[in-house]
């Protein structure tokens, strides 16, 4: 093997080592940036009842004719997720909402809601999405009282009947942010982070 070939091989190894070091450095920077990015919460809208006020109280029936009361004092908080059979994001979010409800079953009751339409279509939707164990509400009034304009949309009502959080949701992180907002006492996770940042500035 001639000297030029040996020199080229050595140069290639040097380049490979430099690239490996660069990749490791970039991976570390991505990790640092990831820790600095604030969690994304549900997109809260200004329309409808205000967070911190008593939620509207309605006496409804679910799709099977069983009574279901929205709002008011009860033993569990209520998470109502507004969905539709024609909403593609809803189909991916329904299993996530059910998983969250199972993990929070000691203090949270999950219900699904839609604005009505052909009942049989909703029955098929309930079956296809395996939602039989959760109340499924068909109520135009419910959507109007919370002024739901886009889907999927969720409201979280505390056990005391107070609206604790609300907003557009499309991921587990968004749904969990509603629960975190209820636990923290802030209207949204963004409000909580803003408060924490302000405290840090005042302390520094």
Write the pLDDT tens digit of every residue in 7-42: 777 777 877 788 877 776 676 665 444 334 344 455
**Pick the residue with more confidence: 44 or 35?**
44
Looking up tokens 């091989």 gives 9
Q: How many CB atoms lie within 10 A of CB 159?
A: 17
Indicate the class that CATH gives domain 58-195: alpha beta
Q: How many CB atoms lie within 10 A of CB 28?
A: 10
Residue partners of 51: CB distance under 8 A and separation at least 6: 44, 163, 164, 165, 166, 181, 187, 188
| Confidence band of 47 (pLDDT split at 50, 70, 90) | confident
* Mean pLDDT of the 44-64 span: 89
* Mean pLDDT of the 55-66 span: 96
For residues 168 and 43, the answer to whether their CB atoms sit within 8 Å is: yes
**pTM of the predicted protein model:** 0.73
At residue 73, does pLDDT exceed 70? yes
């Amino acid at each position: 093997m001639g000297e030029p070939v040996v020199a080229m091989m050595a140069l290639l190894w040097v380049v490979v080592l430099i690239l490996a070091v660069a990749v490791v450095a970039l991976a570390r920077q991505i990790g640092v940036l990831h820790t600095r990015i604030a969690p994304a919460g549900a997109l809260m809208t200004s329309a409808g009842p205000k967070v911190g006020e008593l939620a509207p109280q309605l006496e409804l029936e679910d799709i099977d004719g069983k009574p279901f009361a929205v709002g008011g004092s009860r033993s569990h908080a209520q998470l109502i997720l507004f969905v539709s059979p024609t909403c593609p994001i809803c189909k991916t979010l329904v299993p996530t909402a059910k998983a969250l409800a199972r993990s929070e079953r000691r203090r949270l009751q999950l219900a699904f809601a839609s604005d009505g339409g052909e009942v049989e279509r909703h029955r098929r939707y309930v079956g296809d999405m395996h939602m039989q164990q959760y109340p499924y509400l068909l109520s135009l009034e419910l959507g109007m009282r919370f002024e739901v304009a886009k889907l999927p949309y969720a409201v979280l009502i505390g056990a005391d009947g107070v609206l604790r959080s609300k907003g557009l949701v499309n991921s587990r992180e968004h749904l969990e942010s509603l629960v975190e907002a209820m636990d923290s006492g802030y209207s949204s996770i963004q409000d909580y982070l803003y408060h924490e940042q302000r405290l840090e500035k005042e302390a520094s």
